[in-house]
Amino acid sequence: MDQTEREAFIIQKYKQEEELMILLFAQWCINHDLEPEGIYQKAFPSQSKNAQLTHAVEQTIPKSEADEIPLVSLLEVLSWFEQDELAFIVSEEASRLDKS
């Protein structure tokens, strides 16, 4: 594998993992009766609609069929992708859910 192929492989792997992170976030929201796009908009109010998130939401499964996604796992994955703003909003929402 030459340098160009290696770089292409790394980029492709990162994109796949990023897609998984977005799907994990979307499914966590669905599992907690939250609107993924709304949570995302709170974290990034100046950004337009996120096509990757829209695609991920389409891939989620109903809450009744989904496995639980631990909050700590989601926050860790968001941290890996430096999604600190989103992790902060997710933490706030989780805290709000715990109080209700």
Claim: this prediction has a pTM higher than 0.75 = yes
Question: Which tokens in the block code for residue 31?
Answer: 């599992």
Q: String of b and e for 44-68 (b: at least 16 CB within 10 Å)?
A: eeeeeebeebeebbeebeeeeeeee
Residue 1 has pLDDT above 90, yes or no: no
Residue 100 has a pLDDT of 75
- How confident is the model over 23-79, as pLDDT tens digits? 999 999 999 999 999 999 999 999 988 999 999 999 999 999 999 999 999 999 999
Domain count, the chain: 1
Neighbours of 95 (CB within 10 A): 10
- Name which of 8, 29, 88 is nearest 37 in CA terms: 29
What residues make up the domain containing 73? 3-99
